[in-house]
Amino acid sequence: MNKPLVGVRILDLTHMLAGPYAGMILADLGAETIKVEPLAGEGTRQLLATDPENSLNGMGAYYLTLNRNKKSVAVDLKSESGMAVFSRLVEASDIVLSNFAAEVPQRLGLDFETLSHVNPRIITCTVTGYGSEGPGANRPAFDQVAQASGGGMSITGPDWEYPVRAGIPIGDLGGGMFGVMGVLAALYERERSGLGQHIDIAMVDCQISMLNYMATMHGLSGKDPYPIGNAHFVHVPYDTFRCADGVIVIAVITDNFWQHLKVVVDCPEFDNTLYDTQPGRWKDRALINGWLNDALERQSCAYWLEKLEKQRIPCSAVNSISQALSDPQVLHRNMVVELRHPDGGSTRGPGNPIKLSRTKEESFSPAPLLGANTDSVMSDLLGLTATEIEALKAQGAIG
């Protein structure tokens, strides 16, 4: 296998979205990712599983996507014998990834302090709503709660009265992405120290980080940014604009782009020297956007996009998901891949956005059936005999 994380072994205890997404990215990059599930299966297995439009052979879109390239081992972590099996897995692994509530890992003996006694090189990573310590650590949080708590919803939408969450679950996905960064950083540091460590990812921390310069603007001005829909608080015109058959985005972020836009759009009102620089355009932004909308509505999206792209003006159609997934550039970069079910059949889903020049293999094995790899992991990794495996099953430790 020609993937960068070959030789890294992860025990994936995650559920729902944030944690599984982190595990999916690491698995796509070649880490042997063993999903350790309860005997009844991880809860996400049930999401959309019976939805005729959004499932494949009884496996819903969530599980089908988020658990590709992973193995499944069913272990009862609440039993003594199950925890003994898990401890042996920890001895042979590099990373334990989880997204339980803040107090759960310590209660179950899955925290870094406990596991580091089993394997001093182990790296643990938790993705929670508010982190593992602090006055609000035990507050429950899912995606939209993180978006609201982290401030992003307050600047999304048309105005103060109607805050809007991001269309994609950026609260969950942000936690997963930063979890991957933390794991890779800890793996690199372990090459120097020989020791593992704990990575504490809070979804709300990630949302605060992604406020970026807007948080700094607040620090400088003392003012809260306000929601302005699809417009920009500096650049003009920078917004969505309606054409005869749809909506496009135009992003004029330099004065040079403005001059190029004047070549594309024949609008006499634009020939005003005050608009040649950003302050003048900002002052009359409502007028400029109105004039531009009036002009663009006379022709199709394709007509305007061709002319705008010829002038190198940043622009795009506001694509539906089906349009985005059929874009020739997206397809060229293998960002739409086959997702197979282990019992047969397949659908399409998103590929891996991390493209490397040398260790560049991209392959996607099916999301596993519950406990599909229990026997092989117990025998190949832990060296258990068939008799010992059956005894553990009889005890209800594994399944």
- Closest alpha carbon to 201 in 95, 123, 125: 125
172 is catalytic: yes
Structure tokens at 322: 């089906």
CB-based contact 367:33 (threshold 8 Å)? no
What's the CA gap between 235 and 46, in Å, rounded? 45
3-state secondary structure 99-133: CCCCCHHHHHCCCHHHHHHHCCCCEEEEEECCCCC
CA distance linking residue 254 with residue 235, whole number of Å: 8
Distance of alpha carbon 138 from alpha carbon 128, whole angstroms: 9
- Please identify which of the residues 28, 94, 172, 200 carries the catalytic annotation: 172
At 104, the amino acid letter reads V
Distance of CA 146 to the CA centre of its chain: 14
Q: Which residues face 346 on adjacent strands?
A: 340
| C-alpha span between 344 and 302 (Å, rounded) | 40
In this structure, what token pair is assigned to residue 285? 């932004």
Which residue numbers are catalytic?
Answer: 172
